[in-house]
Amino acid sequence: MLKVYLDTCAIQRPLDTLTQTRIRLEAEAVLGIFKHIKAGAVELFSSTMLEVEMAQNPISARQELAAQMLQNAVTVISIDPPIAGQATAFVTQGIKPADALHLAVAESAGVDYFCTCDDRFLNRAKRLTSLQMVVVSPLELIEVIENDS
């Protein structure tokens, strides 16, 4: 079974303004990913970092969507000193601190795929040769999931 971690921007994508084709397709992909998670075909991993970011969102509809999606997580990973250390190593490789924490959490959980909509982060993370997981966009992830089914 595929194990996935979606960062904040991926989880929130369905509530973004859907006027651009790419954003609309990514939103549909995220909803499709969650359909597979709810069906038990994919395992979702969450973190205390995701919970904090979602709680800080001032828009209640975004908080509610995130809470609904994250309640499907098989586990919630807390940030501990080894994860923080790994995040620091990612920062030295050009990853922003919050993104580095998400990567480190997902890496420690042993997920297969890390999903983000942030192009700059996606491109930088894909260049990290030490990762044991694959960093993908929602469109790439839904393709993997549907081809794996």
What is 55-122 written as a DSSP string? HH-S-HHHHHHHHHHHTTEEEEEPP-HHHHHHHHHHHHTT--HHHHHHHHHHHHHT-SEEE---HHHH
Distance CA 131, CA 22 (A): 27
Angle 7-11-17 (CA atoms, 0-180°, nearest 5)?
A: 125
Q: Among 67, 54, 44, 57, which residue's Cα sits nearest to residue 115?
A: 44
Tracing tokens 């993908």 back to the chain, one arrives at 136
Architecture of domain 2-148: 3-Layer(aba) Sandwich (3.40)
Q: Quick one: tokens of 145?
A: 């999931």
Give me the residue spans of the domains in the chain: 2-148
Q: Quick one: tokens of 32?
A: 């499709």
Task: Give the pLDDT confidence score for residue 148 in this predicted structure.
Answer: 82
Distance CA 131, CA 40 (A): 26
Distance CA 52, CA 40 (A): 25
Task: Give the pLDDT confidence score for residue 149 in this predicted structure.
Answer: 65
> Under a CB-based contact definition with an 8 Å cutoff, are residues 108 and 89 in contact?
no
- The mean pLDDT values, 10 residues at a time, for the chain of 149 residues are 96 94 97 96 96 91 91 96 97 96 97 97 94 97 91
Q: Which residues make Cβ contacts (< 8 Å) with residue 20, sequence separation at least 6?
A: none
